Amino acid sequence: MASANKSQCVLASGNKGKLAELSNALADHGIELVSQSEFKVTEAIEDAPTFVENALIKARHASRSTGLSALADDSGLVVPALNGEPGIYSARYAMQPDVLQKPTDADNINKLLEQLQSHSDAERAAYFVCALVYLRHADDPEPIISTGLWHGSILHAPEGENGFGYDPVFYCPKNKMASASMSRELKSSVSHRAIALEALKTQLADRTL
């Protein structure tokens, strides 16, 4: 485990993809992100109805468990034709009743494609949402909150080998490719997380941490 110091910040996630994306972006602000798994922090119970509220829950839990500042990301895919699904349930969209094991990315993608099977291309519009929350401490009364949206559509079949989550079926019209076909550098400059990060960095620069 890395030693605690003022520059360290616990990331309220064990997702290696998120850690890589967020670490590089925040290095210029003197923030060293360390995954909560390094501190054996248990997963928070995300029982709020919105991305922002769930990010706050995760950040407070991680900060309180470690005594460090915390950064939490709550993100997901929204498909208007499916009444906003998978939404806040994106990571567990294909969860089966009475099954404790979390569904894989492939499970979630397969369910999404099944739900959209009878929908036209025009009805396959979708967007990723990212809500970022930074807390200086667990009881921080003024958290830094930023959000980002990345608009695109859902493909009929997976494409590409990179990324994680729904990246293989999310098509970005601006770059004319699936998110999973993008290099890490390209995705890190155009994604919902990239947009939210830029807003977060602006607020970090304006505030004494």
Which of the residues are catalytic? 74
Output the six-digit token pair for 99. Answer: 């099954």
Q: Are 160 and 168 in contact (CB under 8 A)?
A: yes
Residue 63 backbone dihedrals phi, psi, to 5 degrees: -65, -45
Strands 177-178 and 170-172: antiparallel
CA distance 40 to 128: 29
CA distance 78 to 205: 30
CA distance 161 to 198: 26
User: What HEC string does 59-117 produce?
Assistant: HHHHHHHHCCEEEEEEEEEECHHHCCCEHHHHHHCCCCCCCCCCCCHHHHHHHHHHHCC
